[in-house]
Amino acid sequence: MDRPRFVPISTYRLQVHGGFPLTAARDIVPYLKRLGIGAVYTSPYFAAEPGSTHGYDVTNHNELNPEVGGAEAHTAFTDAVREAGMQHVVDFVPNHMGISAVTNPWWRDVLANGPDAPSAHFFDIDWDPAKAELRRKLLLPILGDQYGQVLERGELQLEFRDEQLTLVYFDHRLPLSTRHVPDLHSLPDMAALDREAALRRYNGVPGEPRSFDALHELLEEQAYRLAYWRTASHEINYRRFFDVNTLAGLRVEDPDVFTSIHQLLGRLVREGRVTGVRIDHPDGLFDPARYFEMLQDLAAESWGLPRGAGPALRSWLPPPRDRSRPLSEASRGVESRVRRRSCSSAVRWAVGHRQTHGRDGRRSGCNAPRCGS
């Protein structure tokens, strides 16, 4: 079967967010049916940064965003779409994730444990860059000034809350490893006054530079290196979405990563609640063509259709030309002619902007340390 199982004759896009949740989307389904729409196409509704109005800063691909109504609202919306005889296409973002340490547990794990973190291989990070002080460290360009200035102004503070020691910098809350700092190990067992005294020894006093030495030494032991945001353009060692420091690239070509971020999508496809996907910026992926074939494998497996082994077994094999493509896929991004040719066998339709390579020959959205061909 070379034709997708569901092919929409027309689509109507809905931007879902806290101000227009899935309940509101459900309410206009009868109107869309009267218009003769074939498929309701929504922006991403997976868990994203709090207050996101677009959903492309996903923090958990396997959780429905509570701000748009969560699982209950999604079920009601997709039930209404099916009862109206329409299909549902959802926007999906495999290329990157929002990386707030508060909302993204995988990124928090990387900050806490560096290259030894179980989730370290999820992200496109160069742990052995040319700059020696960044070896086995992640550059975090989040500071509003030079590190020394920020430190001595007392803007970096230790905080103990919910039985955890955290580094606080304005809205940022970063995990801290204390494996080499014995006097901080006993914080949970200390009396409140003793704990406050211990934290004061690290938090220092503005105007007394030497009072921040202990905090500086603690930060030197971390798996991340804090830096002025302007250093990102020439020192950053993780792949971003374009030059957006808060969106980190995923290694979705890795079968483990692919499987991990597609669990919920696979279930929604299997249940018939999603019948097509629009892929956001496949031009940033290491191997776009392989990704689309893996996605077709997922759909075939979900629907019990013969297409070959699942993605974990077939990800390193070239796609046979005669393999079926049951899932209707759309792509959007800044694409080169080469990438359009490489993906055309698996992609059914494309939306959005296209352009050839820029004058300098670089691809937008595919930054250092590593890009696909």
**Whether residue 367 has pLDDT greater than 60:** no
CATH of the domain at 171: 3.30.1590.10
CA distance 113 to 160: 19
Where in the sequence is the domain holding 114, given as residue range(s)?
105-120+129-235
363 in a domain, yes or no?
A: no
The answer on 227 and 154 residing in a single domain is yes
The answer on 64 and 173 residing in a single domain is no
216 in a domain, yes or no?
A: yes
Q: pLDDT of 37-64, one tens digit each?
A: 999 999 999 999 999 999 999 999 999 9
Q: pLDDT of 119-174, one tens digit each?
A: 999 999 999 999 999 999 999 999 999 999 999 999 999 999 988 999 999 999 99
* pLDDT band, very low/low/confident/very high, at 326 (cuts 50, 70, 90): low
CA distance 298 to 292: 10
How far CA 337 is from CA of 108, 253, 283, 353, in Å, comes to 37, 21, 11, 13
CA distance 337 to 341: 6
**Whether residue 359 has pLDDT greater than 90:** no
Phi, psi dihedrals of residue 307, rounded to the nearest 5°: -150, 0
371 in a domain, yes or no?
A: no
Q: pLDDT of 192-216, one tens digit each?
A: 898 999 899 999 999 999 999 999 9
6 in a domain, yes or no?
A: no
The answer on 155 and 79 residing in a single domain is no
The answer on 275 and 189 residing in a single domain is no
pTM > 0.85? no
**Whether residue 280 has pLDDT greater than 80:** yes
What is the per-residue pLDDT for 5?
A: 74
Q: pLDDT of 225-247, one tens digit each?
A: 999 999 998 999 999 999 999 99
Look at strands 224-228 and 240-241 and give their pairing: unpaired
Domains contained in the chain, number: 2
**Whether residue 88 has pLDDT greater than 60:** yes
The answer on 254 and 193 residing in a single domain is no
How far CA 205 is from CA of 193, 199, 202, in Å, comes to 18, 12, 9
SS3 state at 280:
strand
Query: Lowest-pLDDT range, 28-37, 59-68, 161-170, 180-189?
Result: 180-189
* pLDDT band, very low/low/confident/very high, at 189 (cuts 50, 70, 90): confident
State the DSSP H helix or E strand holding residue 248, giving kind and residue range, or none if neither. Answer: strand 244-249
CA distance 15 to 55: 9
361 in a domain, yes or no?
A: no
What is the per-residue pLDDT for 44?
A: 97
Contact 203, 158 (CB under 8 A): yes
244 in a domain, yes or no?
A: no
CATH of the domain at 347: 3.20.20.80
